[in-house]
Structure 1
Amino acid sequence: MRPRLDPEGLFDLRYAAFLETVSHLRVRLHRYCARMTGSALDGEDVMQEALFEAYRKIELLDDTLALRPWLFRIAHNRCIDFIRGRRARQRAEAGYAGDDIVLPVEPAGQGAGRAIEQLVVHLPPKERACVLLKDVFDHSLEEIAELVGSTTGGVKSALNRGRAKLAALPAQPVAIPAHDPELARLLGRYVELFNARDWDGVRALTSADARLRVSDCYNGLLSDSPYFVEYERAELPWRMRQGAIGAEIVLVVDRLYGDVWRPAHLVRVHAAGGVIDRIADYYACPWILEMVFEDG
C-alpha cells in the first residue's frame, strides 16, 4: 500500500513530512500509549490521534528541542481521555480503595522494566504514568511532573504508591474473557471472502457507512477508499487469518517471504448488529507486532 491523499481526510503530504520528522519517537510513543491503555492496538489508535493533534498545533511549538516532551504530553492526555472514556480509572482505583499511606518503595531492579510494562495496567492512571515514565522510559522527576500536571513531590508519592501496589499484586494470571462466537463467525466469513479476493462479498458484510482507518494513509469511509485495490496489487503474496491479542480477536495478514509465511501486520474489525462498521488496518505499524511477540 502507498499513502493516498484525501482532502476530506486526515492525511496529506504535510502530515507525511511531519511524521518523518517525529519518526524517531514513534516506537517509544506507541509503547507508552500501549502500556497506558493496556492494548497494543488501542495504543496505536491513541498515538495516531495524538500525532495528528500535534500536527495541527505544531506552530505553537517555539523550541524544536522541546518536541519530545511536548509529544509525550499530548499522547499522555489522549491516553487519560481514553482511560476515562472506558471507565478503567474507576475500576482500577476501586481495587485499591483505602490505600492512602504507602511507605517508600525502591525502583525495580535492572531488567524488570518489561514485567512492569505489562503490570502497570492494574494501576490508576497517574500512578501508571509515573511508573512508566520513570522506571521504563527513564524520565526525570521534573519532566514527569510537567507531563502529568503535578509537582515533583506529587510524582514521588505516585511512584511510591504505584511501586508498592505492583509489588503486592498476586502472582496468578488474569483470566481472559471468552471470545464472542458471533464475531468469530463473521470474521471467519470475512477472512474466507478476503482470501478469495471476493471484494463484492466482503463489501456485503459491511455497513454502507463503514469506516476505514489505514495508519498514515487514510481515515474515512471504506466505500471511498482504494483499500481492496491495494491488496489486489500487493507485490508480495499474502493471506489473512484469524488470531488473537489477549481477549480480542484480530486478523493477521501473513506475507510469503521465499517459502515461509510470516506475520506482517494486524487488522482490527469491529461489528455491530451483525455487520462490520469499522476496520483498522495497521500495515504501516511494525512496532505493534514486535510488542505482541515480546509479550507473547
Structure 2
Amino acid sequence: MTGSQDESIAATRLRAFEREAASLRARLHRYASRMVGSVIDGEDIVQEALAKGFVAIRNGDMPDKTEPWLFRIAHNAALDFLRKRALLRGRESEVELDMIADENSALDARIAAEASLAELMQLPPAQRCAVVLKDVLGHSLEEIGEILETSDTAIKGALQRGRESLRKLAAAPRMAPPRPALDRQDMRRLGDYVAAFNARNFDALRGLLAEDVKLELVNRLRADGKEYVGNYFGRYADETHWHFATGLVEGRPAILVTSPERPDGPPRYFILIDWEDGRIAGIRDFLFADYVMDGLEYSGTP
C-alpha cells in the first residue's frame, strides 16, 4: 500500500470519526455535565474528550465501537476534573455484592431525569456515573460495562445505591441555593454590554475589546485578537432573532439570550463575558451549543 493510499484511508477514518463524534456530542455533554455538576465545565470535558479522540484516531487507533470508547474517555476526564477540584469522595470500586438493582425501573429513570445537577453531585462518582448512564441516557448494563470496563455486579451495586439516594433527595424538601456574592462592577459592565447589544451599538462594543481578546463560539470556532473578534458582532448585526438580558448561569454573571417576541421567556442559549481592566478579555458564546441548556440552572439578575 502506497503512502498516498495510507493517507486517504486515514483521512476517511478521521471524517467518519468527526461525523460520529458530532452525533454523540449532546449525549456526551449530558453525561459529563451531570458527572461534574456544571454544564459549563461539562462542555470543557467534552472538548477534552473529543480532542483526545481525534489525536488517537490520527495516531492510528481504531476502536471497535466509537460510542463506548468516547464515553470512557469522557468518564476518565470527568474523574480527573473532580480529583483536581478535590471533590472526589467515597469508594469508587467497593460495592456490596448483595445490592442488586432492578435494571428496568421507570420510577427511578424519571427521578434521575428530573434530578438537578446539584442533587446528582450529592452522589459519590461511581453511583452518579451508573445512574446517569442507565437512568438518564438509557444505556444497558452491558454498554455501561464496556464504558467503565467493570462487571455487571459492580454496576448494579452502584446503581442501587445511587437510586436509593436519589429517592431520598426527591422526597426531601428542596432548599433554595444560597445567593452568590456578585461583583457589582462586573454586573454593571455586563448591563452596559447588554444595553449596547440590544441597541445594536456594535461599534461601542468593538471599542471595549482588549487587544488580545479571545472568542469561543462553542462547537463552531475560536478566534484571538481584537481585529478578528470584532467580526463576531457582524453576525449579530445581520440578525434580528435575539434579545439579550443579564442573568446568572450556575451562579455567575451571564447574558441570557431569548426571542424578541418573548423577551421574558426561557433563554435559548447564553453568553459568558470575561473582563480585565475594564475591557472585554473573553467571550464564550453558546449559540451553536444549545445542548448545554439541558439541566442548566439559571436565573434573572437578583
- Interval of TM-score (by shorter of Structure 1 and Structure 2): 0.7 to 0.9
- Matched with 2:81 is 82
The correspondence for 2:244, drawn from 233, 240, 249, is: 240
The correspondence for 1:286, drawn from 280, 283, 290, is: 290
- Following superposition, the deviation at residue 229 of structure 1 comes to 2.0
SS of residue in 2 equivalent to 1:122: coil
The yes-or-no answer on 1:55 pairing with 2:54 is yes
- Matched with 2:155 is 155
Classify 1:284/1:17 alpha carbon distance in 2 versus 1 (closer, same or farther; 3 Å).
farther
- Matched with 1:213 is 216
SS of residue in 2 equivalent to 1:87: coil
Paired residues of 1:102 and 1:164 also in contact (CA < 8 A): no
The yes-or-no answer on 1:177 pairing with 2:172 is no
- Following superposition, the deviation at residue 58 of structure 1 comes to 2.4
Classify 1:19/1:270 alpha carbon distance in 2 versus 1 (closer, same or farther; 3 Å).
farther
- Using the TM superposition, name which of 122-131 and 154-163 deviates more: 154-163
Classify 1:101/1:172 alpha carbon distance in 2 versus 1 (closer, same or farther; 3 Å).
farther
- Following superposition, the deviation at residue 208 of structure 1 comes to 3.1
Structure 1 counterpart of 2:272, one-letter code: R
* Counterparts of 1:171 and 1:180, CA distance in 2: 27
- Matched with 1:136 is 136
Structure 2 counterpart of 1:213, one-letter code: E
- Following superposition, the deviation at residue 48 of structure 1 comes to 2.8
- Matched with 1:5 is none
Classify 1:20/1:291 alpha carbon distance in 2 versus 1 (closer, same or farther; 3 Å).
farther
Paired residues of 1:117 and 1:132 also in contact (CA < 8 A): no
SS of residue in 2 equivalent to 1:176: coil
Q: Give deviations 1:184-241, integer Å, cap 9, x for gaps.
A: 222112212223333453345444323211123222425233312222223x343321
| TM-score normalised by structure 1 residue count | 0.75
Paired residues of 1:40 and 1:292 also in contact (CA < 8 A): yes
Structure 2 counterpart of 1:76, one-letter code: H
- Matched with 1:270 is 274
Q: CA RMSD in A?
A: 3.5
Structure 1 counterpart of 2:252, one-letter code: E
- Matched with 1:4 is none
- Matched with 1:121 is 121
Q: How does 1:58-77 map to 2 (within 5 A)?
A: 58-59=57-58, 60-63=60-63, 66-77=65-76
* Counterparts of 1:82 and 1:253, CA distance in 2: 29
Paired residues of 2:116 and 2:295 also in contact (CA < 8 A): no
User: Gaps (5+ residues) in structure 1?
Assistant: 1-13
User: Gaps (5+ residues) in structure 2?
Assistant: 1-12
- Following superposition, the deviation at residue 269 of structure 1 comes to 2.1
Paired residues of 2:112 and 2:166 also in contact (CA < 8 A): no
* Counterparts of 1:100 and 1:130, CA distance in 2: 12
Aligned-residue identity in percent: 31
Q: Give deviations 1:77-99, integer Å, cap 9, x for gaps.
A: 22223223333325xx5xx9xx9
- Using the TM superposition, name which of 238-247 and 271-280 deviates more: 271-280
| TM-score normalised by structure 2 residue count | 0.73
Q: Give deviations 1:271-293, integer Å, cap 9, x for gaps.
A: 45654432211111222335449
- Matched with 2:23 is 24
Matched residue pairs, number? 272
